[in-house]
A and B are shown apart, each in its own frame.
Chain A
Amino acid sequence: SQQGEEDPQALSIQEGENATMNCSYKTSINNLQWYRQNSGRGLVHLILIRSNEREKHSGRLRVTLDTSKKSSSLLITASRAADTASYFCATVLTGANSKLTFGKGITLSVRP
């Protein structure tokens, strides 16, 4: 079952622009994580935000979490061609033995 759903499915922007990607989920979470996957490679962890946090930053990345709306957004500022990749949100539900469940991903293309 799909817990996190990303929006949009695909995004194309010009280098230097900001990219905003959204994730919605259905049930209470322990934390939400964003991963990046370059073509033909494994996933790389970007940011983890816990349910009691509202915003986190890491370099050019900013993640927000709104538990009342059950949604999160990932903002990449001043995008670069190297940011071209697929981005996945993944959630860990509350409760013991809860597993990390991935969405289907967003394909981001940054045009030079």
Chain B
Amino acid sequence: NAGVTQTPKFRVLKTGQSMTLLCAQDMNHEYMYWYRQDPGMGLRLIHYSVGEGTTAKGEVPDGYNVSRLKKQNFLLGLESAAPSQTSVYFCASSYSIGTAMEDTQYFGPGTRLTVL
């Protein structure tokens, strides 16, 4: 099993450009998440999904959109990138019980994004 994979690993954008980050998991997990990690801030939840076709906002959703068209994939989009979105982005997935996010999360290796 590959677990959670993310593409690309690195990307440099100019302000105003758009891009999509792809996350894929092969563990048949219902829940998927996108986080950003900034120095001294820990991980902050951007958006998450509790199942195919569903998405919900996390702590810092502004400037991002997501889609979960297939259970195994979770896409994070930046429509008009800004320097404040320079960060490391992590995708995660979990098998959760009922409606509660109680279980272990499995993380991808991250995407390092720089917006100039």
Contact = CB atoms under 8 A, between A and B. Distances in A.
Nearest to A42: B107
Nearest to B35: A102
A92 B43 CA distance: 14
A96 B107 contact: no
Given A1-B59, A97-B100, 6 more contacts: A41-B109, A45-B105, A88-B43, A96-B100, A100-B45, A105-B42
B110 A42 contact: yes
B43 A43 contact: yes
Interface residues of A, number: 25
**Size category of the binding interface on chain B:** 20 to 34
B90 A42 contact: yes
Interface string A96-112: 11111111110000000
B104 interface: yes
Interface of B: 4, 35, 40-45, 48, 58-59, 90, 92, 98-110
Given A42-B90, A43-B43, A105-B42, A48 B104 contact: yes
A104 B41 contact: yes
Interface in A1-56: 1-2, 30-31, 33, 35, 40-45, 48
3 tightest A-B contacts by CB? Answer: A42-B107, A104-B42, A102-B43
B64 to A, nearest CB: 16
A111 B40 CA distance: 23
Nearest to B99: A96
Contact of B100 (A1, A44, A98): A98
**Residue among B35, B92, B101 with max Cβ neighbours from chain A (10 Å):** B101
